[in-house]
Structure 1
């Protein structure tokens, strides 16, 4: 029998989804120049600048041969806690979570970077979500977790780096879509909204937004001396003298470059790998 006293609704423990501010739009010219650099080159040049944790460890290309460079849009999964959020109400609850919300923030060229703790039982995206992501203009997805509906997703031609496949939907197991446009930890790498991502068959690398210009410039210089070194090695010179350059062979390189101004990336943009489609070889 009812007591006739209405029970007050239970106040939510935490307002979800948690959302950060939209990251600034990237400079299209910078993205274009960075797009000609491979992930290995970006990783090496950042390492030379003292930024050592940039490789997203775990996710690999689901569709080899694909490459993507773009602004990082972030999504964070968190462990389920039943008094806040769980998957017991089936996947329909997901439409009010950060998973749906972040997709409405996608701008053309964005790379969605997802923190999912390497979970084997969390299918962060499937056919419908990837399809919508593509229609919004998304360029690619890097997820430290898994993907479902792989046969259908493979037909959408969206580059994806993940830890594999699973039949589960996103909140079916241990995680719940929690926040977007917030800092995330993906494969051991801190990724901030608005950072740039370079991903190819060597893996995904996060380029801090304020370091991207320096990475492009360093890659151009690296490409120039590697071109010189390849020439000398092909002529029979010892590898140890020309890769990397020694103090002596660097002087030789500088003389060669002075005599061949067309090989100077600063004077001849056509020789800049960030502008002509030839990425510098990785270390």
Structure 2
């Protein structure tokens, strides 16, 4: 088996600030920065109310080819690459799986999920399915999935193929070590090199949103307050004097 690459993990502070931005604002801000496709489409929250951010560990599945991956789940367990991505997990990591959107094969079950939780993983984004969902729910692991299935991972037409390589997950290129931010809006991939700029721009946008939200609730014109029109900025600046920005 080819040696698995290690990822470079961003600082905990950077990850926390990405998480504070949230998936929707991160996606919108990255779009304005020229990254048009960062929302991992397909997987949705199966554990409502969870918000995570962390570096991506990646797992790639391919259509099964029997000469490369024979039958017999336990014939040689260490050849099962879906185990090896979990061996890499450190506290706060997010496992991101390209399972080709296939919901007939369960990438992980409750035993693997128990191990993932024990390693301190933050959550998983799977463009595909997991199994043993009744038991997995009890673990309360934050999950973004395309579906669930009773089948195990190679029972049907998939085989785990590579760990910590660039993958296409839900139509998005995910590089190992990218920051994944996910909440009830979905999962978004934030390129590490753009994270600081994204946070800065998203924060500037957010700073006037509280003011605009208040004005819109009062029935003020949408044209004036969302987005904040230049004519409304003096009013916003005056309001801000008695409502200082609170970051972090």
Task: Assess same fold via TM > 0.5.
Answer: yes
What SS does the aligned partner of 1:109 have?
coil
Is 1:168 aligned to 2:171, yes or no? no
Q: 1:119 to 1:94 in 2, by over 3 A?
A: farther
Q: Quick one: distance in 2 between partners of 1:227 and 1:144?
A: 34
Where does structure 2 lack aligned partners over 5 or more consecutive residues?
none
Aligned residue among 106, 121, 140 for 2:104: 121
- Map 1:123-142 to 2 at 5 A: 123-142=106-125
Aligned residue among 199, 224, 232 for 1:249: 232
Q: 1:188 to 1:91 in 2, by over 3 A?
A: farther
- Map 1:225-236 to 2 at 5 A: 225-236=208-219
Aligned residue among 45, 59, 72 for 2:56: 72
Which has a greater percent of strand?
2
- Asked if the contact 1:148/1:166 (under 8 Å) is kept, the reply is yes
- Asked if the contact 1:91/1:170 (under 8 Å) is kept, the reply is no
For 2:35, the equivalent position in structure 1 comes to 51
Write out per-residue CA displacement over residues 204-242 of structure 1, whole angstroms, 9 at most, x where no aligned residue: 111111111122222221111112212333444211111
What SS does the aligned partner of 1:46 have?
helix
User: 1:95: how far off?
Assistant: 3.3
Q: Quick one: distance in 2 between partners of 1:78 and 1:91?
A: 19
For 1:281, the equivalent position in structure 2 comes to none
For 2:14, the equivalent position in structure 1 comes to 30
Q: Quick one: distance in 2 between partners of 1:193 and 1:250?
A: 41
User: 1:90: how far off?
Assistant: 2.9
User: 1:54: how far off?
Assistant: 0.7
RMSD: 1.8
- Map 1:150-229 to 2 at 5 A: 150-229=133-212
Aligned residue among 220, 225, 241 for 1:260: 241
Q: Quick one: distance in 1 between partners of 2:173 and 2:63?
A: 19
User: 1:94: how far off?
Assistant: 4.4
- Asked if the contact 2:21/2:203 (under 8 Å) is kept, the reply is no
Count of aligned pairs: 248
Q: Quick one: distance in 2 between partners of 1:215 and 1:193?
A: 19
* Higher CA-based Rg: 1
Please, what TM-score do these two structures have when normalized by structure 2? 0.93
Q: 1:41 to 1:248 in 2, by over 3 A?
A: same
Q: Quick one: distance in 1 between partners of 2:91 and 2:13?
A: 14
Write out per-residue CA displacement over residues 51-93 of structure 1, whole angstroms, 9 at most, x where no aligned residue: 111111111111111221111111111111122113x123444
For 1:98, the equivalent position in structure 2 comes to 81
Q: Quick one: distance in 2 between partners of 1:233 and 1:213?
A: 30
Q: Quick one: distance in 1 between partners of 2:184 and 2:33?
A: 23
Worse-superposed segment, 58-67 or 145-154: 58-67
For 1:81, the equivalent position in structure 2 comes to 65
